[in-house]
C-alpha cells in the first residue's frame, strides 16, 4: 500500500513544477501515445531518455520514482512470466508440453516490461509535479469546448481531481486498518489464496465506511463554503503559457515524431 504514488504531490520548486498543467497533461497524452506506437527498443529508448531528463529537472527524489515501479511489481512479474512461457517463436531454448521459452518470447517480455515501467513512471510524474488544484484547472481548461454543449466540465474536472487525491488517503487508511487488525490477532501473510481473501473482508468494511464518511464530510465542507460549481467562478491563479511550456511542447512533439519515424521505417522492429 505504501508504494502507491498516484495522487501524491511532491512540493518543490523546479522547472517541471512551474510548467503549465495543461501542457503537462497534453505531454503525458503524447508520451503515452509514443510508448504505444513504439515497435522497437529504439523507440522506447527515446521515450526513456526524455523521461529521465524530466525526472532530473523535476527534482523529485529517485526513491519516490522507484516507489511507483515497486507498486506494479506483481503485474510486471506476472505478465513477464506469461509472455516468457506462452509466446511462440522460432528459436526455442526450452520446451515442455505446452510451455516453451523462446528467444522471441524473452525479447517481447523485456519490451513489455519496459513499456509498463515507462507508462507508470510518466503517469506518476504528472501527479508528483502538479498539485490537485492545478490539475483540476488544467483539465477544466482543456475541456472548455464541451461547455458549448452544456457539459458539466468543471464538475467533471473536480470529480477527477478529488478521486485522484483520495487514492493515497485511502491507501493510508487501509494501512492503518490493517495494523489495527494485526494488533487484534489478524493474519494477512500466511495461508492460501482463499484464506487471505477472507482475511481482507474485515479490512474492506471499515475502509468503505471510512470512505463514505470522508465523502460526506467533504460534501458538508463544500456546502458550508457555499460551493456553486463552475457557475461564474473566478480563479485566483490564471493559467498562462511561458517559455518552459514551449520547451515542453517541442520535447513532446520530438518524442512522437521520432517514434513515428522509427515505426514507419521499421528500424529495429520486433
Could you read off the pLDDT of 119-158 as tens digits, one per residue?
988 888 888 898 878 888 888 888 888 878 888 887 888 7
Q: Give the integer Cα–Cα distance in Å for 114 and 127.
A: 21
Direct distance between the N- and C-terminal alpha carbons of the chain, in angstroms, rounded to an integer: 35
Which pLDDT score is estimated for 231? 63
Kindly list the domain boundaries of the chain, sorted by start residue: 21-142+240-264
Asked whether 41 and 263 are in contact (CB, 8 A), the reply is no
Which pLDDT score is estimated for 6? 56
Q: Give the integer Cα–Cα distance in Å for 28 and 139.
A: 13
Which pLDDT score is estimated for 32? 92
Q: Which residues of the chain have pLDDT under 50?
A: 1
Cell of residue 19, nine digits: 510548467
Which pLDDT score is estimated for 1? 47
* Residue 72, number of CB atoms within 10 A of its CB: 18
Can you tell me which residue has the cell 528467444?
103
Asked whether 25 and 249 are in contact (CB, 8 A), the reply is no
Which pLDDT score is estimated for 80? 85
Alpha-helical (H) ranges within the chain are 21-37, 41-58, 62-71, 73-86, 103-129, 132-142, 153-183, 193-224, 243-265
Q: Give the integer Cα–Cα distance in Å for 67 and 95.
A: 36
Q: Is 77 exposed, middle or buried (0-12, 13-18, 19+ CB in 10 A)?
A: exposed
DSSP codes of every residue in 10-76? -----TTTTS-HHHHHHHHHHHHHHHHH--SHHHHHHHHHHHHHHHHHHT--HHHHHHHHHHTHHHH
Asked whether 64 and 9 are in contact (CB, 8 A), the reply is no
Q: Give the integer Cα–Cα distance in Å for 252 and 263.
A: 17
Amino acid at each position: 500500500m505504501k508504494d502507491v504514488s498516484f495522487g501524491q504531490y511532491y512540493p518543490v520548486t523546479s522547472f517541471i513544477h512551474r510548467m503549465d498543467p495543461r501542457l503537462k497533461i497534453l505531454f503525458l497524452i503524447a508520451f503515452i501515445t509514443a510508448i504505444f506506437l513504439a515497435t522497437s527498443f529504439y523507440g522506447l529508448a527515446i521515450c526513456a531518455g526524455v523521461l529521465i531528463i524530466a525526472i532530473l529537472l523535476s527534482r523529485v527524489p529517485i526513491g519516490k520514482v522507484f516507489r511507483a515501479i515497486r507498486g506494479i511489481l506483481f503485474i510486471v512479474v506476472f505478465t513477464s512470466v506469461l509472455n516468457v512461457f506462452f509466446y511462440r517463436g522460432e528459436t526455442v531454448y526450452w520446451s515442455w508440453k505446452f510451455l516453451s521459452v523462446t528467444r522471441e518470447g524473452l525479447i517481447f517480455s523485456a519490451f513489455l516490461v519496459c513499456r509498463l515501467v515507462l507508462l507508470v513512471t510518466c503517469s506518476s510524474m504528472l501527479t508528483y509535479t502538479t498539485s490537485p488544484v492545478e490539475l483540476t484547472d488544467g483539465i477544466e481548461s482543456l475541456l472548455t469546448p464541451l461547455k458549448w454543449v452544456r457539459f458539466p466540465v468543471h464538475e467533471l474536472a473536480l470529480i477527477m481531481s478529488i478521486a485522484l487525491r483520495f487514492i493515497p488517503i485511502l491507501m493510508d487508511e487501509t494501512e492503518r486498518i490493517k495494523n489495527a487488525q494485526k494488533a487484534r490477532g489478524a493474519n494477512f501473510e500466511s495461508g492460501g489464496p482463499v484464506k487471505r481473501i477472507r482475511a481482507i473482508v474485515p479490512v474492506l468494511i471499515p475502509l468503505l465506511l471510512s470512505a463514505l464518511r470522508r465523502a460526506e464530510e467533504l460534501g458538508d465542507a463544500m456546502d458550508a463554503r457555499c460551493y456553486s460549481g463552475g457557475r461564474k467562478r473566478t480563479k485566483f491563479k490564471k493559467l498562462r503559457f511561458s517559455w518552459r511550456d514551449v520547451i515542453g511542447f517541442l520535447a513532446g512533439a520530438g518524442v512522437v515524431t521520432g517514434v513515428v519515424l522509427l515505426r514507419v521505417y521499421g528500424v529495429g522492429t520486433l
